[in-house]
Amino acid sequence: MRSQKDLNIGMIGYGFMARAHSNAYRRVNNFFDLAYRPNLKAVCARDEGKLKAFADTWGYASTETDWRKLIARDDIDAIDICVPNDLHHPIALAAARAGKMILCEKPLSRNAAEGLEMCEAVEKAGVLNTVWYNYRRVPAVTLAKNLVAEGRLGRIFHYRANFLQDWTISPDLPQGGTGLWRLDAAAAGSGVTGDLLAHCIDTAIWINGPITSVTAMTETFIKERKHTLTGQMQKVGIDDACAFLARFANGALAIFESTRYARGHKALYTFEINGEHASIAWDLENLHRLKYFDHADESIVRGWRDIHVSDGDQPYMDKWWVPGLQIGYEHSFVHQVADFLEAAAKGENAGPTFRDALETTRVCDAVLASAASGQWVTLG
């Protein structure tokens, strides 16, 4: 085992994502041999009671109630941004100015304008940065990326992805406030586009290269919901569903769809890639499996292979248990932390950087613009 030095983490937020990241920080050194050891130095939020409980549960050494104070502390090396999307921009700008590494929850920002300023801030400051598009680090997804990168699929003809949920079908669900800010356009920036399609787009660009044009439609099925903060029925500003057609720079055609009204799907992120020689398919509700079809297989015994991604020669899996024993959702965050720390030890970024994530936000913006205009939108 290598000798290790602490990387002092300052976490902002205590919600679902703050738990997932904290868990990753605490576990990574048990499984990965790294030069850095994350040290949970401080956590910051406004609600002192919940903040204290969170700090106790996860072992944060201290708390702050003002993120500006957290950023100002000398004993913090890295800021982790786990707050609603509208706060990513001001916090990232301040953290960059303070010379902190930044690990920002996805999406990077509510829109590309904010995102561009964030990119410029971290690049100008020269601080390491990443955005938590964690699904890249599901082993099956990393394997898919590798198979495409090795050219096994040949020319890519088709990419299709969707992210289907069903948790907002009830009109009685309010918008806004803790746990429900994703339904509030002011806080979230958009609905499923920034929340769910952003994941699909990030993976797609990572595996298949730039998207060059899109045409989209969006819908808000429930037009008004009570707002948690005001207690009033208010117009719903987010997109409940979004679908778009796209073309990639490599000539592939794509369809993307996301909704929170797909009864029966809790968190079904799926993608499939069809190439000249082979095809790949994956879904989040069976994240430990990859489907693979290789046309080179002998004809009479050719079929989609159902790969149980749990062997030591598959991405990240030598770090965990033994073949046949599956890992889960949370491990994708551990992998991202491991890669971040490994690269950080060399002074490098591991990706996706803010700049990578900006590309995804630009596609999201194009999608929303197309849905509004009814026109194809070309990405420069």
Contacts (CB under 8 A) with a copy of itself, residues 124-143: 143
Is 67 or 135 the residue whose CB approaches a copy of itself more closely?
135
Q: Do 4 and 36 contact (CB within 8 A), yes or no?
A: yes
Q: For the residues of 228-271, what is the DSSP string, one character each?
A: TTT-SEEE--S-SEEEEEEEETTS-EEEEEEES--TT-SSEEEE
Residues touching a copy of itself, count (CB under 8 A) = 94
Find the binder of a copy of itself among 67, 133, 244, 354 (CB under 8 A).
Answer: 244
Using CB under 8 A as the binding rule, whether residue 296 contacts a copy of itself is answered as no
What dihedral angle (degrees, nearest 10) is formed by the CA atoms of 150, 274, 136, 251? 80
- The minimum distance between CB 26 and a copy of itself, in angstroms, equals 7
Residues 155-184 as x/- pattern, contact with a copy of itself by CB under 8 A = --xx-x-x-xxxx-x---------------
| Residue 264 interacting with a copy of itself (CB under 8 A) | yes
Between CA 181 and CA 17 the distance in angstroms is 13
Q: Kindly indicate which of the ranges 117-125, 196-204, 291-299, 344-352 contains the residues binding a copy of itself, using the contact rule CB under 8 A.
A: 291-299
Toward a copy of itself, which CB reaches closer, 23 or 62?
Answer: 23
* Token code pair at residue 85: 């999307």
Residues numbered 319 to 378 that lie near a copy of itself (CB under 8 A) are: 320-331, 374-376
Q: Output the CA angle 333-160-254, nearest 5 degrees.
A: 120
As a whole number of angstroms, the distance between CA 326 and CA 308 comes to 8
Q: 276 exposed, middle or buried (CB, 10 Å; 0-12, 13-18, 19+)?
A: exposed
For a copy of itself, the closer of residues 30 and 232 by Cβ is: 30
Asked if 238 touches a copy of itself (CB under 8 A), the answer is no
Q: Does 310 contact a copy of itself by CB under 8 A?
A: yes
Nearest to 176 by CA among 46, 81, 86, 68: 86
In this complex, which beta carbon is closest to a copy of itself, that of residue 62 or of residue 286? 286
Select from 159, 242, 209, 163 the least CA-distant residue to 359. Answer: 209
Residues between 28 and 47 with contacts to a copy of itself, criterion CB under 8 A: 29-30
